[in-house]
Amino acid sequence: MRGTSALKSGVKRLLGRAGFDIVRTNNNRGGVDDFIPFEATMRAARAAGLSVGDYIDEVMNGTPGATRFTIDELRALGVFTANPDTVLEIGPGSGRYLEKTLKECSPGRYEIYETAAPWSNYLVDTFGVVAQPTAGCSLASTPDGSIDLVQAHKVFNTVTFLCASRYFFEMARVTRPGGRIVLDVMTETCLDPATVRAWATKGGAGHGSYPAAMPRQTCVDLFATLGCSLEASFLAPMGVASTEVLVFGKGA
């Protein structure tokens, strides 16, 4: 922990010398984007001797191994053994889940919806994914029933309830029968009194809609009306607490 703290301080100094700071900004659709300066972050990750994904987990988020943990759990649940040929990810950001997903399976097409243009361009250039036009809470450029695996990680705890709900409708729409939907939300399972106190006293003042809670049963019931049943769930680390990862299967 002491080493991580020293590394984090060093990276912040490096960012400062580069003329950048890490800030959070509200987008004009009511959600929240974490603005991570592209060039400075890449330099800081290299200086720290970390991959971009590990740097964000260990230094910026303070949760070493968080991404790997989620991917390992999804593998154990058989999400990748179905060898999805088409994958869609909402809000991949730096691509830390995207990169590890590609190591687990070899889809012929990987679509992303990402609002941060520098990161979107980086993901296209580095991994050959397809960046779709991103506006509002829509997946309008993706046809109905065309995706084997739809996923979103650390997205729906940063946007409003209605924005998340609109995305849920879209995720169900684009998933093919027999496909899977993976997402994480901050449910009541993640919000015992001690955790709420930690967010209120240690997690900072928050910003805009972050961190956003989502009633678990509301989420499960909504997907059920869209032909998607809950197959599994588990808790994944986030900040001072956790989110709940839900895995849905869409019926034939």
* pLDDT tens for each residue of 3-36: 444 444 444 444 443 333 333 333 333 333 345 7
pLDDT digits (tens, 9 = 90+) for 167-188: 999 999 999 999 999 999 999 9
pLDDT digits (tens, 9 = 90+) for 99-136: 999 999 999 999 999 998 999 999 999 999 999 999 88
Domain boundary among 10, 40, 60: 60
Q: Which of 98, 105, 138, 101 is nearest to 122 (CA)?
A: 98
- Rounded CA separation 217/197 (Å): 23
Tokens of 191: 């919000």
Please name the helix (run of DSSP H) or strand (run of DSSP E) that holds residue 244, with its range, or none: strand 241-250
Same domain, 108 and 220: yes
Number of domains forming the structure of the chain = 2
- Rounded CA separation 65/100 (Å): 12
DSSP per residue over 18-48, as a string?
TT---EEEE-TTSSEEEE--HHHHHHHHHHH
What are the phi and psi torsion angles at 82 (to 5°)? -75, -5
Same domain, 173 and 55: no
49 is in which domain, residue-wise?
2-60
Residue predicted with more confidence, 225 or 62: 225
- Rounded CA separation 187/55 (Å): 27
